[in-house]
Amino acid sequence: MEEVDVEPVITNIPAASHDKHLGFAWGPGDILVYETLYKASGSKRSPCTFIHEVRKDEDIYSPILRKLFNESHHIFVGLQTIGEDLPSKSKKPQFVSVSKNYRSVIRACMEELQQVAVSTKDSKLATEYGNQVSILLAIELIWNLCEVLFIDAAPAGSLLLHLLDWIRLHRADVDEKARDVLQSESPAEHCDYWDVVVSYVLQGRLEEARQMLVKQAMLHPASRNMYKLMDSLLSKMPFYKPGGTQPLAEFDVKWRHWHDEVDRCLQDGSFASNQHLELICKILVGDEDTLLTQKELLSTWYHFLVTRLLFCHPTVKATELHFYAQSCLTMFLDPRSTPEPLDSILLAAFEIDIHQVIKDCSIALNNWWFVAHITDLLDHCKLLKSHNLHFGSNLREFLLLEYASGLFTHHSLWQLAVDYFDHCSEFGRVYLELLIERVPLDTERKALKVLRICEQRQMSEQVRSICKIMAMRTLRNNRLGSALSWSIRAKDAALATLISERFLQDYCERGTFSDLDLIDNLGSAMLLSDRLTFLGKYREFHKLYGEKRFREAATLLLSLMTAKIAPRSFWMTLLTDALPLLEQKEVIFTANQTYELMYCLEELTSSLNTTAPSKDKPMQEDEVEKTKVELLRLAMARNLAIAIVKEGTVET
């Protein structure tokens, strides 16, 4: 597509003025704007302390439109599952059904917005909802036309029937007016009676027009023959029946015979005495000047187009529409007025220019929802295959990426965006990797949700990042068990070591372990770091001791020191834990094990003696340490003597 020659919309920022300097921080959907500390020479103004958020897509924050995004997401995901191997004839009805599902979601949201706009007492909100209704009306109008011309691609004959349905759906005001007329005391004398009859004729609803004319005929018995003739003309008008046995050429001949009959009635003045019936006869014959006098009832140039085709060119082909559309637009609009964006979009659709429709909609509409979904559907219909962009991605993927990036700025809709990225084969994963790291992890539940998404897609870097963030957050909140669990999921040895240290500190202060279930079930995860291994093994020692399996506990305790798994700072605690085992009546530590314990104690005391005494450490603590060492030496010496005697005694 060529560059857009349209002036961008100006957004006024309260902080901005001629003597202020602004800074920007760009996000995936929003921009933060703030005033910098820079001051122009001679400026005495005080800096502004506000940060302004400029939102690109305000619609995602509307609770009603959020339903549109949620419902259309399910339709989108379902569309991606339609098999590529199916023949195009089999897929076409499915694509039409998908299109109708999208339109039903648009209409449901539109009706809900209308109800809220009527019921709200806030005039500003009512205006806002009214604007959203207008936008959705335009979107559904465009989508429906795209469905008729591109997705269903109806042939000549059937095409006009689809266009008539399109007009009737979007010009429903005549039904409300007809209801008022029929509910009045004398419908035939109601001020809107003839407007309703003419509107029915303009929309090709000839049966309803005939029923209304019966009421007028009953009121004027003298003109009964004239009304009877009009009823005959209306009943005889042929309509093409798709799927029937009648060929299009035969229908065309039949229609021309009917048209000639109507023209004869007009020429011989059969309705000259009744201006209303004469007007209807001129409409039936397709008189352009007469049709243009009914601008108020037609209201739009595209209604004028469909009515003109109905009474002049009922076998029109899709490729011929652009000629009639352009001439109707020119005839209907005031020469001094310029077409609205909607007019340009519809005209591009009648010209069967899909890319121009998408381009104009991208400019005119206030979000990417419509262009992303209609482009995806058209791409599945193989109507956009030849159009690639210069920067590597095709048009469908580009628009889906833009739409999904906008969803990622919302606190809950970001989950929908994940599926859109999954179905963008070229850049979807890259976008997801970058944006998922920006999702605020407000709660552990949300973090687990994000983590599951990353794990399902083997996004290992993002998994590690999320786990590290949650581990540090829970550690700051002193939730050691949760922090350790997150660090293990992150496979971060340094972080696991840090948290294990905190567990050991906590044990030293309280004398018990917290989160025993987690530590007891570490399994192979304890091998992540030496400190975590020590924590797991030390807890295992406590379990063995609690189960009175003293020999196994003693062997494990000693191995923690001799294998240098235990940190030196924790040796005194381990040796103190050995004291009850040394004091047991039964010899638990062998002579060799006792020697190793003595060696560890001496190594610890020698290192303590070489370090300078701490000024912060109270003298009372030093005395306690000395007492512990003396008790340990005494217990080890006693245990060594008993062990030597026992091991040297030969049992008889």
Domain-terminating residue out of 280, 295, 316: 316
The reported pLDDT for the residue numbered 1 is: 41
Task: Output the CA angle 322-328-333, nearest 5 degrees.
Answer: 130
In the chain the first and final C-alpha atoms are separated, in Å, by 103
Q: How far is CA 416 from the centre of its chain?
A: 4
Question: pTM for the complete prediction?
Answer: 0.80
The reported pLDDT for the residue numbered 243 is: 74
CB atoms within 10 A of CB 140: 21
Domain annotation covers residue 132: no
Retrieve residue 259's tokens.
């048209």
Domain annotation covers residue 30: no
Query: How is residue 55 annotated by DSSP?
Result: E
Domain annotation covers residue 582: yes
CA-CA distances (angstroms) from residue 361 to 1, 113, 311, 553?
13, 22, 31, 75
Domain annotation covers residue 584: yes
Give me the half-sphere count of Cα atoms (radius 13 Å) on the Cβ side of residue 52: 16
24 φ, ψ (degrees, to nearest 5) = -130, 145
Task: Output the CA angle 477-481-483, nearest 5 degrees.
Answer: 55
Query: How is residue 287 annotated by DSSP?
Result: -
- In this predicted model, what pLDDT tens digit does every residue of 6-63 receive, in sequence order? 565 666 776 566 567 777 776 656 677 777 776 655 555 566 667 777 766 666 667 7
Domain-terminating residue out of 291, 316, 341: 316
For residue 202, the SS3 value is helix
- In this predicted model, what pLDDT tens digit does every residue of 571-597 receive, in sequence order? 888 888 888 888 888 888 888 888 888
- Residue pair 594/573 in contact by the 8 Å Cβ criterion: no
The residue range of the domain holding 293 is 167-316
Number of structural domains in the chain? 2
The reported pLDDT for the residue numbered 7 is: 61
Cross-strand pairs, 33 = 24, 52
324 φ, ψ (degrees, to nearest 5) = -70, -40
The reported pLDDT for the residue numbered 2 is: 45
25 φ, ψ (degrees, to nearest 5) = -130, 115
The reported pLDDT for the residue numbered 329 is: 92
- Residue pair 590/643 in contact by the 8 Å Cβ criterion: yes
CA-CA distances (angstroms) from residue 214 to 194, 207, 405?
13, 11, 59
Give dist(CA 438, CA 598) in Å, integer. 55
- Which residues, including other chains, have CB under 8 Å from residue 605's CB and lie 6 or more apart? 629
Domain annotation covers residue 198: yes
The reported pLDDT for the residue numbered 583 is: 83
Give dist(CA 106, CA 141) in Å, integer. 10
Domain annotation covers residue 211: yes
Pairing state of beta strands 51-55 and 30-35? antiparallel
Give dist(CA 283, CA 290) in Å, integer. 7
Domain-terminating residue out of 281, 316, 351: 316
Domain annotation covers residue 344: no
- Residue pair 487/525 in contact by the 8 Å Cβ criterion: no
Give dist(CA 594, CA 629) in Å, integer. 15
The reported pLDDT for the residue numbered 140 is: 94
DSSP string, 559-572: HHHHTT-S-GGGHH
Mean pLDDT by 10 residues, the chain (652 residues): 54 65 70 72 62 67 84 94 72 92 94 88 85 91 95 88 91 86 87 91 92 86 87 91 82 92 90 90 92 90 94 92 92 84 94 92 88 94 70 81 88 90 92 90 90 92 90 87 85 84 79 72 77 82 86 87 82 84 84 87 75 55 76 86 80 48
Domain annotation covers residue 640: yes
3-state SS string over 365-404?
CCCCHHHHHHHHHHHHCCCCCCCECCCCCEHHHHHHHHHH
